[in-house]
A = this chain, B = another copy of it.
Amino acid sequence: MNKIVTISREFGSGGRELGRRLSEELDFAYYDQEIIAEIAKRTKLAGDYVQQIIERKPAFSFPIHVGNTFQVPGGELVRQKAAVYHEQCRLLKELSEKSDCVIVGRCADYILSGCLPYRIFVYSDMESKKERCRLKGEQDKDLSDKELKHRILEVDKRRSDYYAFVTGQSWGEKHNYDLCISTKGISVREAASCIAQMLSGSVRMRND
């Protein structure tokens, strides 16, 4: 069985950077935006649209008496969302069978639970997250402090809702993860190097 590390992360916490650096340290494949692009290709939908669907709660919960033979408002949208979700599951499984890998987001910790992934949750305090967003995000540069905070909370609310919908679990609740790490006041590079070292020595990640 291949070794899988999954990264869940609060928006602006540096989780993506930690995942990327961890994949380099461990010499694992790294999947993040590539997953969106591939789902878009397979479902023949636009990448931006897939991204939007994947970070929102899928609206599968239409009334149970509505069968396929009825026209429902938004029926096409529901079908698209279902298609994206199923493609996401299929793709994650394919990737996990291909090689050792680090996967960022996409509920991979839950969808691939059969592969016993090492599940990391990355978080930080609001001040550090705002600072990181301003440093990294082109689109966040001109937002006021209040607008930026609102954006961070909004993205995390969507992630949390989507995760709860797909998994029935709480996003960020530590018992759903093996490691929860705050990036406040630490070097993400150093953290990635230390986690990689710890994983290389662990029963679950050893190469024997």
Contacts and interface: CB of A to CB of B under 8 A. Distances in A.
Interface of A: 121, 123, 125, 172, 174-175, 177-182, 184-187, 190-191, 193-195, 197-198, 201-204
Contacts of A180: 174, 177, 179-181
Contact of A182 (B172, B178, B187): B178
Contact of A202 (B121, B190, B197, B198): B190
Nearest to A199: B186
A4 B191 CA distance: 19
User: What is the predominant secondary structure among interface residues of chain A facing chain B?
Assistant: mixed
A174 B204 contact: no
B182 A123 contact: no
Given A197-B194, A198-B191, A198-B194, A182 B186 contact: no
B201 A187 contact: yes
The list of the 8 closest CB pairs from A to B, nearest first, reads A194-B198, A180-B180, A190-B201, A194-B194, A186-B202, A174-B180, A185-B204, A178-B182
27 contacts: A121-B174, A123-B174, A123-B175, A125-B175, A172-B174, A174-B180, A174-B182, A178-B182, A178-B184, A178-B186, A179-B179, A179-B180, A179-B181, A179-B182, A180-B180, A185-B202, A185-B204, A186-B198, A186-B201, A186-B202, A186-B203, A186-B204, A187-B203, A190-B198, A194-B195, A194-B197, A197-B197
